[in-house]
Structure 1
Amino acid sequence: MAGLRERKRARTHAQIQQEAIRLFRQQGYANTRVDQICEAAEVSPSTFFRYFPTKEDVLLDDRLDEQVVEAFRAQPPELTPIQAVREAFRTVFTALPREVKTWETERQAVIRSVPELQARMLQTFTDSIRMLAAAVAERVGRSPDELEVRTFAGALIGVSLSAMMYADENVDYVTLMDAGLGQLERGLTL
């Protein structure tokens, strides 16, 4: 169980993100200033910047990637890497509280609507490929620098990108992600 300090940090982190997304939806991303987010979240600018280096990072800070990688590592060894990834996504995303799922949907909608956020998101996907390649390499006993391992991790992140870009309030990210991973598992046949 997390200690008091960790719980307080998590609450402050979440409060800043919740108020930011509320303001982005109300006023638009470009029209929302950091000082407005600070006021709404009842934190000082120095506190804001302790949690998020930039306004963009409020939306791009994605803690779910680490949870998915942890869940991936916990999958039974008899599962193929794709089966393990599918199960890890199911495990993490089905356990999310409704408010987190709602926030994720709103976060992704804002990212899709702001070109500079889309561009920065590509960098986060590069980081995710590295993190996932390391976990996959560990699972299959290979180097994360091997082309096949990096390509595999890149394909998984490509499925995630595709799901994120087309998810909305009618079709959720998890459903699209699972369907895309299923297609990848079958060999990307069309």
Structure 2
Amino acid sequence: MTTDQTRPAGGLREQRKARTRRAIREHALRLFLAQGYDETTVEEIAAAAGVSHMTFFRYFPTKEAVVEDDDYDPLIAALVRERPAGEDPVTALRTALRTGLDAVLASDRDALYTRTRLIVTTPALRARQWLNTDATGSLLAGALAEREGVRVDLRLRVIAAATTAALVTALNAWVDGGGARDLRDLVDEAFAALGSGQRS
């Protein structure tokens, strides 16, 4: 759910690799939108990006990974670790997500929307969404535990899972609305719903 632009600048080799990865993803998304995800082959993506079939797989292990893989989760986890240890976990996650979204939407909003739309509207990708959501929840639970200086426990797993589900629901609503709403507002609403869920 993020962009290669969130990565820190490295040496020339790392910058070339980042440009190649970005080119492959941009051409893949363009082809997916033009002719459909299922109808687009890895060979077509590689040819459009001007790389070999094998080069594609050095950057993305599968076709699905072009849409699913990103640096957003590690970015958010790092931001969570930076939050004050005494801050409650939900606030820490919400603040970290807001900071991360500000950066991603400023640099790559269209790519994020396109990727999210593909996941929501492509059955093969949507079926895998729960796996990615589970992995994100585990990563964030670990970040919360590290911030507090404790081991991952049920409390932190539940908090991370609930907030990850809130984020995914906001993303789905963003796509359902054609991207008209500000994603940050939708995320705020989703987090507010977590706090009001016990209302009768």
- Note whether the superposition's TM-score is higher than 0.5: yes
Alignment-derived partner of residue 75 in structure 1: 83
Q: Map of 1:1-190 to 2, 5 A cutoff?
A: 1-96=9-104, 98=106, 100-144=108-152, 146-168=153-175, 169-184=179-194, 186-190=195-199
The residue type equivalent to 1:183 in the other structure is A
For residue 167 of structure 1, give the secondary structure of its aligned residue in structure 2.
helix
C-alpha offsets along residues 32-67 of structure 1, whole Å, 9 cap, x if unaligned? 111110111111111100111111110010211111
State the Cα RMSD in Å: 1.6
Q: Aligned letter for 1:5?
A: R
Q: Give distance in 2, aligned partners of 1:115 and 1:30.
A: 10
Count, aligned residues: 188
Once the two structures are superposed, residues 108-132 of structure 1 have per-residue CA deviations (whole angstroms, 9 ceiling, x without a partner) of 0011111110111211111111111
- Structure 2, unmatched stretches of 5+, are 1-8
The answer to whether the 8 Å contact 1:183/1:189 transfers is no
Q: Is the 8 A contact 2:90 2:159 kept in 1?
A: no
Alpha carbons 1:108, 1:164 under 8 Å: kept? yes
Letter in 1 for 2:190: G
Answer whether contact 2:76 2:97 (CA < 8 A) is retained: yes
Deviation string, structure 1 residues 64-109 (Cα, Å, up to 9, x no partner): 1111111111123343211111211121111236451110001000
Structure 1 gaps, min length 5: none
Equivalent residue, structure 1, for 2:3: none
Following the alignment from structure 1 to structure 2, what is the Cα–Cα distance between the partners of residues 62 and 174? 19
Query: Counterparts of 1:64 and 1:134 in 2: how far apart (Å)?
Result: 15
TM-score, structure 1 length as denominator? 0.92
Taking structure 2 as the reference length, the TM-score comes to 0.87
1:167 and 1:176 in contact (8 A); partners too:
yes
Extract structure 1 runs of 4+ deviating beyond 6 A.
none
Of all paired residues, the percent bearing the same amino acid is 36
Shift of 1:18: 0.7
